[in-house]
Amino acid sequence: MAGGNSEISHVSDTALMVAAARARETARPDGLVRDPYADRLAGERGHAILDASPRGDILTFGVGMRSRFLDDLLLELLAEDRLDTVLLLGAGLDTRPWRLDLPPQLLWIEADFPGMLDYKSAILTDAPRCRLERRPGDLTDPAARAAAFAGTGPRTLLITEGLLMYLPAEAVEGIASDAAAAQVGYWIMDLTSDAFSSRITQQDQAIENVRARTAIKGSAMQAAIERHGWRGMRLRSYTRDVMSIAGARIAAMMEARAAAGLPRMEPAPADDPSGVHVFSRATTG
């Protein structure tokens, strides 16, 4: 397990906890993601935060599922030769430029707070597999967003993994508008309905504490995206597609829940939108 670092005070507890979850998934024989860098980035603090969570096992599974689906969709778009640039807003402690087999000519842009990017740069000194550029700034600031989107276009993929649910509604609208104005071609994001969240678990208080007062999610978030011309293109569903990659693990979790005397979780409705989505502009198909 990685030790402490003088820059860690600039990194959010949520980012460290998510990195720890990826590290735990990596250590499992049936883990949904393989991230050899996550343990280093999480450090002792990240693992301690995850251990303190009353629902750490479910959170770990959820992070693994989201990471796996996003990986799959990203690699699909690359295999179809749709991309030459990826813009990751709220990059946090993401490690895809290092752990995925990416084209060396691909430009990967990380945008986040300066302290977050500095911490990752200090810990993760390995060479990435593609071209890497970092753009520090506060994504709730329109000027910082404009700088993040500079030079992007139709062959750019925007990724907002685990980000939009924390932002104020006006920042979500701003990102959707800025991406459309920059003619960004594709956008991968995770969406979780209120009903899905309630079935799985109540949100950890540590996560609720960092959500903006006007934060939105689920159908309200999807509506905000679609107002700016974005349309659904592909989906990896948390309630349906997950069974093909983790059916046995889900069955074991349900058995453990029953053995503990906890109530059975009702199945999600067929139209539940929870999952990792690819949106595109009408001009990109």
Sheet hosting strand 156-160, strand order edge to edge: 131-136, 107-112, 85-89, 156-160, 186-191, 275-281, 230-237
Q: State the pLDDT at residue 6.
A: 39
Burial class for 269, CB neighbours closer than 10 Å (0-12, 13-18, 19+): exposed
Do 154 and 283 contact (CB within 8 A), yes or no? yes
Token representation of residue 231: 């349309």
Average pLDDT over residues 202-221: 72
CATH 3.40.50.150 holds for 65-281 = yes
| Domain assignments of the chain as residue spans, ordered by start | 65-281
Q: State the pLDDT at residue 281.
A: 87
Average pLDDT over residues 147-170: 96
**Per-residue pLDDT tens for 82-92?**
999 999 999 99
Indicate the average pLDDT of the chain. 90
**Per-residue pLDDT tens for 43-63?**
999 999 999 988 888 899 999
**Per-residue pLDDT tens for 69-84?**
999 999 999 999 999 9
Strands 186-191 and 156-160: parallel
Average pLDDT over residues 225-251: 94
Average pLDDT over residues 188-210: 69
| CA-based torsion, 80, 86, 90, 94: positive or negative | positive
Cα dist. 221→9, 108, 168, 203, 244 in Å?
Answer: 31, 25, 11, 17, 27
Do 235 and 277 contact (CB within 8 A), yes or no? yes
Q: State the pLDDT at residue 46.
A: 97
Angle of CA points 93, 181, 68, to nearest 5°:
30
DSSP H/E element including 84: none
pLDDT exceeds cutoff 50 at 4: no
Q: State the pLDDT at residue 141.
A: 96
Q: State the pLDDT at residue 285.
A: 56
Closest CA to 202 of 56, 55, 79, 67: 55
Q: State the pLDDT at residue 197.
A: 65
**Per-residue pLDDT tens for 251-285?**
998 888 789 887 777 767 778 889 999 999 866 65
